[in-house]
Amino acid sequence: MVIDLQKVIFNLKQNDNIVILAHKNPDGDTIGSSFALMYALQSMGKKARVLCNDDYPKDLIFAVGDYSEESFEAEYVVSADISDIQLLGNDVLNKYEDKIDMAIDHHRTHKSFAKEEYVQPTAAATAEIIYEIIKLLGVKITEKIANCIYLGISTDTGCFKYSNVTKHTFYVAGELVEAGANTAKINKRIFDTKSRKQVEVESIIVNSIKYYFDDMCAIVQIPADFLETHGATEDDMCNVTNIPRQIEGVEISVIIKEKEDGICKVSVRCDETINAALICQTFGGGGHYAAAGCVIGGDLDTAEKILIDVIEKRLKEINIV
Amino acid sequence: MVIDLQKVIFNLKQNDNIVILAHKNPDGDTIGSSFALMYALQSMGKKARVLCNDDYPKDLIFAVGDYSEESFEAEYVVSADISDIQLLGNDVLNKYEDKIDMAIDHHRTHKSFAKEEYVQPTAAATAEIIYEIIKLLGVKITEKIANCIYLGISTDTGCFKYSNVTKHTFYVAGELVEAGANTAKINKRIFDTKSRKQVEVESIIVNSIKYYFDDMCAIVQIPADFLETHGATEDDMCNVTNIPRQIEGVEISVIIKEKEDGICKVSVRCDETINAALICQTFGGGGHYAAAGCVIGGDLDTAEKILIDVIEKRLKEINIV
């Protein structure tokens, strides 16, 4: 059932021993939202704890500060920033699948799963909603709570870079600064810090970029053994899709990842020139105008050649090459 | 003479045929502030134009939109974001040195040069002050004006990443979004776009980093012929100081640039471990705790060896190595 903000407040005031669920592969928004709400409920004298299927990344959890895990029997279960029940992760799913009392989320793609649901897709982050909730609960936004909410908002907006940032997002950010959020420290660690391996791996990828069609199209191949060869982890690859995209003049950027089983996973990002989804549909894939994906059988060079042919055909159709 | 905001408004209302001076090597704040003020004055029916000693970088000026250069005899001269008269640049300096009626600036280091001065160091950008001025002039913040002010604020705050961002900065940013500022387009071009050469050069620099003291210190050497060797320009080097700094665990980052005349220019950036100014003072340089510079005679390897010795001595003194 869809509920309004007043009902969210009523539910939280009414209940105690509250478990807050964060989604698997936790990001800054699910962590920041969950811990901000936990701190707020605890300051009201309630028992509350956050539960997540997976470990919290060190580079995110530092922002929530020191906390202690309270042990109690869950009487009320809230999910924060979870758009689909599958995102609970297997362990949490098994225990809580049909026990979620209230979902708080901002995803446009939210699929209903809780008894009551508050979804606000104009919010840049679930943490932006949590800010409103905490204010309405009458709880002071402490420095710790401000840090949590800031973590959620800054990570979901690329530090205010994306187009999801609204006047209200900036308004909340201003309130968080006033409440003492340590924005510079959080920003430095999240947006201006890379591991040595990540920097090295990105340099290798930069040097492997192949350019086509007057450098309008940039292609990166990632062999199946890339991580092993370079002693890198998936974490070190978190920024790879941005590498060809950020290059001036590149309007079509393609990452081809070779899988162990003789297929290649392809991700295509486009500016305004062509429709990425159209390119990927040729291979049974799909997506949006700006971002799409598909799978192509064969090795890296084969996949690249086939893709280039399709892109060239499309560019010819619209008289660009 | 120091004046208040009311006097700034009085001066702008009172005068016509206004020339607005931007500083040499123009950045986003001087450009955004100057053009925002120009548009506002023009919408009041006044003649106004912006004057700058140097060309505007394409990657910044795009944000101000189309404008036409009005030709008229200057009756009133305002400087925007200029902290020191020398920053006018030679050509403009010769013509306007003693003719500046009013300076509007946010630099803490502002050195008085105009007949009247309005300096507000708590503003993250001069553009943040210009926003207040335009509101008080009673001029509507159009989309164009909003883009100019956003350009100034976003560039002077690293897209809201730096610690100079206040509650008021976020408040103004929110008003600009409401006024229609094209934030996503400006952010993409300024913060997420690099030339192909810049990306290549940065990759070369990443691979040349030398690490010392358990990787706590990272050093980059830049030979005198580096630009020539790689066909790069100074623009391609704009991000170089950030490369060693962003690496996880690096607390002391050093860039040694070889000059043609057998000396090396050194820039040192430190986190909290040691005082960069202390290191550089050893060589007759200076600066702040977090950022300092000096000049060392000799070639790159000599300079590096001498520096490492001084840093090691300092780290031993504080029992870190």
B256 phi, psi to nearest 5 deg: -115, 115
What is the C-alpha to C-alpha distance for residues A50 and A22, in angstroms, rounded to an integer?
7
pLDDT of the residue at A111: 93
Identify whether the C-beta of residue B233 lies closer than 8 Å to the C-beta of residue B227: yes
Query: What burial class does residue A317 get, using C-beta atoms within 10 Å of its C-beta: 0-12 exposed, 13-18 middle, 19+ buried?
Result: exposed
Q: List, for chain B, all residue ranges whose pLDDT scores fall below the cut of 50.
A: none
- Strands B18-21, B116-119: parallel, antiparallel or unpaired by DSSP? unpaired
pLDDT of the residue at B272: 80
What is the C-alpha to C-alpha distance for residues A263 and A303, in angstroms, rounded to an integer?
9
Q: List, for chain A, all residue ranges whose pLDDT scores fall below the cut of 50.
A: none
**Sequence-separated (6 or more) residues with CB below 8 Å from residue A120:** A105, A106, A129
What is the C-alpha to C-alpha distance for residues B321 and B311, in angstroms, rounded to an integer?
10
What does the DSSP assignment read for A204-247? HHHHH-EEETTTTEEEEEE-TTHHHHHT--GGGGTTTTHHHHTB
Cα B192 to chain centroid distance, Å, stands at 18
Q: Tokens 């950045």 correspond to what residue? A: B27
pLDDT of the residue at A288: 84
Q: Which residue of A has its CA nearest to B176?
A: A167
- Strands A76-80, A18-21: parallel, antiparallel or unpaired by DSSP? parallel
Q: Find the angle CA(B312)-CA(A193)-CA(B209) to the nearest 5 degrees.
A: 50
pLDDT of the residue at B305: 97
pLDDT of the residue at B227: 95
Q: Which residues of B touch A269 (CB under 8 A)?
A: none
* Tokens read off for A123: 């919010």
Give the alpha-carbon dihedral of B224, B227, B233, B238, to 10 degrees: -70
What is the C-alpha to C-alpha distance for residues B78 and B100, in angstroms, rounded to an integer?
6
Q: Do A248 and B196 touch (CB under 8 A)?
A: yes
* Tokens read off for B43: 């919408």
Q: Is A263 helix (H, G, I), strand (E, B) or coil?
A: strand
pLDDT of the residue at A216: 95
What is the C-alpha to C-alpha distance for residues A311 and A292, in angstroms, rounded to an integer?
13
Q: What is the ipTM of this complex?
A: 0.88
Strand order in the sheet with B291-297: B210-212, B217-222, B252-258, B263-270, B291-297, B286-287
Q: Is the dihedral of CA A270, A218, A250, B157 positive or negative?
A: positive
Q: Which residues of A touch B202 (CB under 8 A)?
A: 203, 206
What is the C-alpha to C-alpha distance for residues B232 and B25, in angstroms, rounded to an integer?
19
Q: Which residue of A has its CA nearest to B158?
A: A159
Nearest-by-Cβ selection for A206 from B162, B178, B203: B203
**Residue range A263-319, pLDDT digits in tens:** 999 999 998 888 999 999 999 998 888 889 999 999 999 999 999 999 999 999 998
Q: Is B286 helix (H, G, I), strand (E, B) or coil?
A: strand
Nearest-by-Cβ selection for A177 from B161, B166, B174: B166
